[in-house]
Every structure is written in structure tokens, then in C-alpha cells.
Structure 1
């Protein structure tokens, strides 16, 4: 059997599994996902289904629950999940803290925590950003002072996605103020709900409490929960951010999304016309298709390096810029194609199981998706910071 035929058979297997395993509620949640983060309940239900199948963490080492798939198989799997509009697996467990523990955790941490991440028994939130430390993460001030076998935490975190659902947190905290700002930062794991912790959801413009503030007041965390050495958390954080920016399958999402937009443009309206008959729109759509393919091919190059043990390095910054800006251009064109009816504001219609609306899903989702993609060039390190990193890398090279 040739490689092409083998991949074709694998693609058929993935399609059949999705068709047979995904409930209608999970499918609806996938269609109604308008940000990086899918509706929590349905995303975790889909994760459990994939975990039971052994398909939840394709990029992890096989000995820790990975699939052992080739790079091509992993991309096919991502493409088919996106073509079927499955809800994306929430990234905190498998794309953020998981790689940190795989790369820097102790054997005891790996044995105890990794299986629970895969199954979704634990859900982790990310305690990185603070009111004065976002893209400039080295400016963080949340303190962790040593007291015997514990650290005592004081300070706060913000933009902590789904903290209200989490039972675990991975956090960057300051354990020393000596030397450069990047020094003196430590990577800690902690249980949510410890005495002295408070979670306050933040309501977004869409009325959804996706982000949270988290406050720490004399919170005790065992030193055994540290990942890596004290004051060397910056190294762990950079490793995680490289994989967050460069180990994704954004191209595998963009290409099917642009395909669906083309289908929308080919529909005939009540006047017997197609949006695609507009030559300006047709050209913009073609340009977007080329850009989406460019993201896909760049991503495959980065992921090929990961397969051979290479860190993404500066390419992670390049891919983050390219992917998020193409995503934003996609959202702009989608909004224009959808037209004035996308201006409706009906958050209730976006809830899973909501009664049918007078508006189509395309019309209901275009504006929330457009609004959410405005943050794409800010999260995981703003694109301005990524360009500075690239410039430094080129000059250093």
C-alpha cells in the first residue's frame, strides 16, 4: 500500500469515527465556537471520547499517551476534525501544561498528572498574565516566598481562561527580584480553591464569562509542585509558549474554513445572483485561499522540525504572526460576505440547544467570531512583540 493510499484509508477511518462518535450537542458546540475556546461542557465531552479512543494527544510521545502517528496523519486528523467542525480541544491541558511537564517535570509528576490531563479528569487553567504583565510577561509581580517546604503566594492573575471550571492551575510566580526580570521566575502547579484563593469571572462584550481574575492571599503551595528548578521558570515558560505558538494546526483550521466561505459565496440568493460573481470579492477570496495555504505549509515545516526534536524557535513567532493575521482577514471577509444581517446581537441563540432563530448560523456567528479574532494578535504574546523577537533573531544570526 502506498503512502497516499495509506493516508486516504486513515482519512476515511477518522471521518467514520467522527460520524459515529460525535453527538449532535458536540457538533452544535463546534459550529458555535467563535473563539479559541469552545463551550466548556461539550469540549470536555469530546476530549473524553477522543481519550477513550487513544486519539486525544497526537503530538505527545507514545509512551505518555500519544498516538504514534506520522506528521502527515496528525495533519489529516486535524483537517478532518475541522472540516466536520468539531469543537477544538481546550489547549491548557494538552498544548500548554502537558508539554511543560513532559519537558521539565519529575517522573512522579508525569506519572500522577499526565493521565488525568488526557482524560480530562483534571482541567488546568494558565496563571501567566497580570494587570501589569501581559505580552511583557517578565514584568510579573505575583510573589511566591519560601517558607519551609511551601511557597506562600500573594498577588493576582488576569485573563485566566475558564478558571471558574478548573481544578488545577499552572502559574508563573516571582521567587526572586535579583538580576534581569526574566530571572527569579518559577513555574508552579497548584490546586484551585486553596485557602486564600478567589476566582472572579470577567464578562466579555458577548456576555460570556470566558476570562477570569484570580487573587492569592497567603496561599500555601508545596515546593514539590514546582516544575523545573527555582528561579528557572522562564525557561519552562518559553518552551511552553513556543509549542503554543508553533506546535498548532492553525492552517488545518483555516483551509477548511475558507472552503466553507467559498461555498457560502457560491450560494444563489433570491435574485438569482451569487456573491462570487463579484470580481472584487472573488479576487479577495482567492488571495485568502493562497494565504491559508501558506499558513498550512509553514506550519507543516515547523511541525516537521518538532518531529525531529527541534524546538520551533523564531519560526514560532513567524507562524503566530502569519496565522493570526490571516485569521483576522478571514473574519473580515466572512463578515462582509454575510452582510447586514450579521449585525444582529442575539447571544441566547448561540447557546447550545437554543431554539431555532430567524437568522442563520452564518449570520449569528460572523460578528462574534470577528470580535473574538481581534484578540488573536494579542494573546500568546502580541504580534508586535513577536516581530521584535524575529528582528533580534535575524540580527543575532
Structure 2
């Protein structure tokens, strides 16, 4: 199999053609990464990622703080808030080059890509002054408290509640599937602040410190044996009264703003990382003879077509970006990459053959491909299930009527998409 050049310039760069300024910026990013991803940081190359967040965490944290000192975190933020004011094109270039350099997985995604842009858009001056500098410097890490045991992707069904008591909010309830909660200093959480309210009404977004007696984190052991996901229990946890983003009761709108940023420019970096995974797998298939099987060769070719389509779909989404975040059409990309990546894990097992079913060491040591296969089963669930994404596309992109009743043969109505 002959695979074309990986670098974005080979297909014209961002949106079909890098300008001279784009090329200069791309070279600046490339040169800085080459000069700095050395020494102790070099051993973190390629480490981290889904199912592997435990890998060299301290080194990756130090690396990201090194990036911050050089002005390479939060580059899309306005300069007034510690960013570089980088354009969408420059942000795409940065994420592409970061992935191409095989740089370690970022530890500050929740703060930089989700919480920070939300505070810039909706936060108070005090909140911006208090939190944004610490996010940009990677001094405080964040997690996202959205999903709950009885709600899942149905954000409007959450039950965690908060009551205003004097100068504080007192929070009680449970969140689940909270990524990296063990490492987080703060949690931005959607909670119900109006007693008796239902669905989207009466929700608020609170910023809750994790290091307090009223917060307990319980890791969830995944198929990979690791624990990126966690349960978080709030038992009379407290946060200052002014740590509410937007007005009390406006939590649904705040959450939708945050979820829009979740589908942002970092997706182009993810696509490059996926392409690198596919290239490695193609190399293995050539070496062990699996590529000589016409069926395997066909699946590898389809995977290559899929990852390139993923890139162009993401670029089209970025072209329509509004207010720093893509619109509901970004759900198309979520379905695409989740299903593609899950299929790549299945393909890897077939390329590797029967040996892929054997743990590498006792009691449960997994190699890169086994980890990919097992963790990618969650790709179509986390960050919004495929079913929810299809509802969003149907109602908000295609303009189809909202289904308010149970489907034939089903005993309960479909949830509001979140």
C-alpha cells in the first residue's frame, strides 16, 4: 500500500492552502517543538491519551508548564486573558504540528479548551481574573461534572442539587464518568439550584473546589485496567456564592456554550494523531504479511479514506465557526471520528492476529493496540453518545421536528440532546 505524505502541506494545509503567514507560523511551531521536546521531555513523546492518562503524568504536567512559560498554551485566547489571539487557522496549524511532533497528550484540556473559553464568553470580570491566569499557567487543573448515574447523556435530567446558604452554595449529589477527577483542582459542574424545577429549567453552572472534605472521588476501573473515569460524590460540598457562571438558572445555556467549545479546533490535532496510528498499523500489516490478505488490505484502504474524510469534514466545520465555537453541525464530526476510531481498534486486532488476545505481561499488561481496542469501545459513548448526536443533527442541523413521545416499541421517551 502506498500512503501519501502525512504533513498537512501535502494537501494544501488549512482549508486548502497555507498563506505565507500560515507557513511562517507553522515553521515557528515546528521549530519550537523540535528545540524543546528534548532531554527529559523527549521520553514523554507519544505518551498519554485515552486509556493511558497515567503514562508519565508528572513529566507531561511539567512539559505543559514549560509550554505555558513560552506562551504556547491557550493560544486562541485573547491576549488580554493570557493567550496569543491566534486565528482559527493558526490554532489548527498548532494542533496539527503538535500531533505531528508526537508530543505528549495534554493534561490541561478541560481548563484550556472548555472552562477557559466559557469564562471568556460568559464569566464575570472577577472569575476571569481569578481563574484564567492559573489555567494559562497550568497551575490549576479542571474536570467536568456533567453526567450522572440516572442521567447519562441526558443533561436535562440531572439531580445533583445546590442550595444557597449565606455566602456559599452547598452541593449534594453524584457525578459519574468524570474524566481525570483525581488530578483536578476544580470542577465545573451543572447542578439544580431551583427546587422543584424540571428538565432544562433551574440549572446552574458552579465552579467547585475539589480539595475539601465534602468532595470524594472514586476511580472507575475500565476495561483497560486504568481509571481515567471517576465517580464524584458531593456531600455538603461548598463553593463561594460568586462561583456561578452566568446567572443562577442559566446553566443549560452555559452548558451548551461549553459543549460547543468541546468540538473545537483541537479536533484537527486528533485527526493527525489518528492518522499516525493508522500509519503504524499499516507498517505492522506490511511486516507480518497481514496486508497481503485482500480483505485486510481493503479495510486498511477504507480506513485511510475515512481518516482523510474526517480531516476535510473537520476543516469544513471550522470554516463555519461562530463566536469561537462550531455549531451543532460539529456533531457530525463526533459521530465520524468515534465510529472510525472504534473500527480501527477492531482492525488492529485482526492485523495482529490471535496473539492480540494475549496480555503482554501478568496480570493485565496491555500493549498499545490492545489498549486502543478496549478503550475505543467508549468512543461512541463519552462526549455525547451517538444516539444523542443523531438527535442534535436531526433537530438542529436538518430542522426535523422534535420527537416528544416514545418511539414505537419503546417504553420511555428519548432524552433531550445535550
Offset, 1:348? 8.0
Normalising by structure 2, report the TM-score: 0.82
1:252 to 272, 276, 280: 272
Equivalent residue number for residue 338 of structure 1:
352
Residue by residue, what CA displacement relative to the aligned partner does 1:254-296 show, whole Å, maximum 9, x if unpaired? 23332333333333x4xxxx43333322222221111111111
Residues 126 and 169, structure 1, Cα contact 8 Å, conserved in 2: yes
Give the alignment of 1:240-389 within 5 angstroms.
Answer: 240-249=258-267, 250-267=270-287, 269=288, 274-306=289-321, 309=323, 311-346=325-360, 364-389=367-392
Residue by residue, what CA displacement relative to the aligned partner does 1:330-352 show, whole Å, maximum 9, x if unpaired? 2222222233333332478999x
Offset, 1:71? 3.3
Residues 38 and 87, structure 1, Cα contact 8 Å, conserved in 2: no
Aligned residues: 379
Give the alignment of 1:1-397 within 5 angstroms.
Answer: 3-4=18-19, 6-23=21-38, 26-33=41-48, 35=50, 38-39=53-54, 40-90=57-107, 91-178=109-196, 180-249=198-267, 250-267=270-287, 269=288, 274-306=289-321, 309=323, 311-346=325-360, 364-393=367-396, 394-396=398-400
Normalising by structure 1, report the TM-score: 0.87
Offset, 1:369? 1.2
Residues 193 and 249, structure 2, Cα contact 8 Å, conserved in 1: yes
Residue by residue, what CA displacement relative to the aligned partner does 1:215-270 show, whole Å, maximum 9, x if unpaired? 12222221111111101111111111122134432323223332333333333x4x
Is there any run of 5+ residues in structure 2 with no aligned partner, and where?
1-16, 402-418
Residues 245 and 316, structure 1, Cα contact 8 Å, conserved in 2: yes
Q: In 1, distance between residues paired with 2:87 and 2:361? A: 40
Is there any run of 5+ residues in structure 1 with no aligned partner, and where?
352-362
- Superposition RMSD in Å: 2.6
Of 328-337 and 116-125, more deviation after overlay is shown by: 328-337
Offset, 1:88? 2.1
Equivalent residue number for residue 359 of structure 1:
none
Q: 1:70 to 1:219 in 2, by over 3 A?
A: closer
Offset, 1:33? 3.2
Partner secondary structure for residue 266 of structure 2: coil
Offset, 1:77? 2.4
Q: In 2, distance between residues paired with 1:261 and 1:54? A: 35
Q: In 1, distance between residues paired with 2:50 and 2:333? A: 18
Q: In 2, distance between residues paired with 1:259 and 1:73? A: 25
Residue by residue, what CA displacement relative to the aligned partner does 1:32-66 show, whole Å, maximum 9, x if unpaired? 43517633323322211221221122332333233
Residues 46 and 104, structure 2, Cα contact 8 Å, conserved in 1: yes
Offset, 1:23? 4.3
Q: 1:36 to 1:247 in 2, by over 3 A?
A: farther
Equivalent residue number for residue 358 of structure 1:
none
Residue by residue, what CA displacement relative to the aligned partner does 1:354-383 show, whole Å, maximum 9, x if unpaired? xxxxxxxxx811011111111111111111
Q: 1:134 to 1:112 in 2, by over 3 A?
A: same
Q: 1:48 to 1:105 in 2, by over 3 A?
A: same
Q: 1:65 to 1:259 in 2, by over 3 A?
A: farther
Q: In 1, distance between residues paired with 2:247 and 2:142? A: 21
Residues 50 and 56, structure 1, Cα contact 8 Å, conserved in 2: yes
Q: In 2, distance between residues paired with 1:175 and 1:30? A: 44
Q: In 2, distance between residues paired with 1:37 and 1:254? A: 15
